[in-house]
Structure 1
Amino acid sequence: MKQRIKNIVEINDNKASKVFAIFIQVLILISIVTFTMETIPDLKPETRSLLYAIEVFSVIVFSVEYLLRIYVAESKPKFIFSFFGIIDFLAILPFYLSFGVDLRSLRALRFLRLFRIFKLVRYNRAINHFTNAIKSSKEEILLFLFVTLILIYFAAVGIYYFENAAQPEHFSSIFDSLWWAIVTLTTVGYGDVYPITVGGKVFTFIILLIGLGIVAIPTGIISSALTKSVDSNETEK
């Protein structure tokens, strides 16, 4: 019995496993849609009751799935504290915490329902390729993040010295300048804070050029790792 359940809840090539995986994926999407619809103001009581019924049904299914995965796991503690084990737990936790309790005091916990999106990772091969790509290039990504943080700090220091005297209300300290550095290096440029001095404008131009490179570097790293992951999978097949 345990092996039969494992063949269903774990991803296998048998029909029952595929049907179960599709059912869970559809239920996750329905759950996310109902979560979104709950934010619509002035919903009819009947609609809210229907959404709540869908939520209860989803939680029951996800709870049973979670318990079954613990049951069939070779090492139960290892599964419980694994990435997917934690995601499965967080997907159902908000419902049980808010059961019979005034949700106004626990409204923030409802956002944890968004962790159900991550449950899709288990069933989607394309997302699995992306996850493998991230894992294989984690050292390069960490190095990139470290260099980016250094550049953000230097950008904040630079713009502070160029603009502090001209705009003390916007660049009163390096901490205040960090916001400008972040939105400029990421090429977002909200326009709420911008340089007015010649030196500040020239410095901003240089930072923008660096920002274009910062956007391109992780794209290249991940795309290269993703290609390797897909090629490796095809080779195994």
Structure 2
Amino acid sequence: MRAFIKSFVEFNDNKLSRWFAFFIQALILLSLITFSVETLPNLQPQTQAVLRVIEIFCVVVFTIEYVLRIYVADSKPRFIFSFFGLIDLIAILPFYLSFGVDLRSLRALRFLRLFRILKLVRYNRAMNHFVRAIKSAKEEILLFIFITLMLIYFSAVGIYYFENEAQPEHFTSIFDSLWWAIITLTTVGYGDVYPITVGGKVFTFFILMIGLGIVAIPTGIISSALTRSVDKKE
């Protein structure tokens, strides 16, 4: 029995496991749709009742799936504390914590239902392929993040010294200048904070040039990792 359950609960190259994966994916999408519909104002009591029934059905199925995965796991503690094990638990936990309790503070737990979308990763081979590529390039990505954080800090320091006297209300401190550094290096440029001095404008020009390169670097790293992963698989 354990071998039979494992053959379709875990994604394998058989028809039953594929149908099970499609069924769970459909329920995840259905639960996300109901979660969004619940935010609509002035819902009729009948609609709320239908949404509640759908939510209960989804949670029951997800709970059964979670229990079955623990049952067929070779190492149960290892699965429970794994990434997907925790995601499966978080996906159903808010329902049981708030079930039968009318506390407004527990409404924040409903937000955790969005973690169900991460369950889709398990059933999508393309996503798994992407995750493997990210893992293979994790050192380059961590280095990129570290360098980016350094550039953000140095940008905040630079613009602070250029603009503090001219705009003390916007560039009060280096911490206030971090917002400008982030939106400039990421080339977002909301326009709510911008330099007015000549030195600040020249400094912004160079930061924008660096920002264009920063946007392109992660794309190159990930695409290279995906290419290596595909070549290795072939």
Tell me, yes or no, if structure 1 residue 8 matches structure 2 residue 8.
Answer: yes
AA partner of residue 151 (structure 2): L
Q: Which residue of 1 aligns with 2:41?
A: 41
Tell me, yes or no, if structure 1 residue 188 matches structure 2 residue 188.
Answer: yes
In 2: Cα distance, 1:91 partner to 1:228 partner: 33
AA partner of residue 168 (structure 1): P
AA partner of residue 174 (structure 1): I
Give the CA deviation at 1:103.
4.4
Tell me, yes or no, if structure 1 residue 215 matches structure 2 residue 215.
Answer: yes
Q: Which residue of 1 aligns with 2:147?
A: 147
Q: Which residue of 2 aligns with 1:227?
A: 227
Tell me, yes or no, if structure 1 residue 24 matches structure 2 residue 24.
Answer: yes
In 2: Cα distance, 1:24 partner to 1:95 partner: 18
Residue by residue, what CA displacement relative to the aligned partner does 1:55-76 show, whole Å, maximum 9, x if unpaired?
0000000000000000000100
Q: Aligned-pair RMSD on alpha carbons?
A: 0.7
Give the CA deviation at 1:187.
0.5
Q: Which residue of 2 aligns with 1:133?
A: 133
Count of residues in correspondence between the two structures: 234
Give the CA deviation at 1:105.
1.2
Say which SS state the counterpart of residue 7 (structure 2) adopts.
helix
Q: Which has the higher mean CA deviation after the structures are superposed, 105-114 or 154-163?
A: 105-114
Say which SS state the counterpart of residue 153 (structure 2) adopts.
helix
Q: TM-score, normalised by structure 2?
A: 0.99
The runs of 5 or more residues in structure 2 that have no matched partner are: none
Say which SS state the counterpart of residue 104 (structure 2) adopts.
helix
Q: Which has the higher mean CA deviation after the structures are superposed, 95-104 or 212-221?
A: 95-104
Give the CA deviation at 1:175.
0.4
User: Once superposed, which parts of structure 1, at least 4 consecutive aligned residues long, lie more than 6 Å away?
Assistant: none
In 2: Cα distance, 1:34 partner to 1:230 partner: 37
Q: Which has the higher mean CA deviation after the structures are superposed, 182-191 or 100-109?
A: 100-109
Q: Which residue of 2 aligns with 1:98?
A: 98
The runs of 5 or more residues in structure 1 that have no matched partner are: none
Give the CA deviation at 1:5.
0.3
Tell me, yes or no, if structure 1 residue 172 matches structure 2 residue 172.
Answer: yes
Tell me the percent identity. 77
In 2: Cα distance, 1:128 partner to 1:211 partner: 30
Task: List aligned pairs for 1:116-127, cutoff 5 A.
Answer: 116-127=116-127
Give the CA deviation at 1:227.
1.7
AA partner of residue 24 (structure 1): I
Give the CA deviation at 1:232.
2.4
In 1: Cα distance, 2:31 partner to 2:229 partner: 31
Give the CA deviation at 1:14.
1.2
Give the CA deviation at 1:149.
0.4
Residue by residue, what CA displacement relative to the aligned partner does 1:126-175 show, whole Å, maximum 9, x if unpaired?
11111011100000000000000000000000000000000000001000
Q: Which residue of 2 aligns with 1:162?
A: 162
Say which SS state the counterpart of residue 78 (structure 1) adopts.
helix
Q: Which residue of 2 aligns with 1:68?
A: 68
Residue by residue, what CA displacement relative to the aligned partner does 1:182-228 show, whole Å, maximum 9, x if unpaired?
01001111111000001001100100000000000011000111122
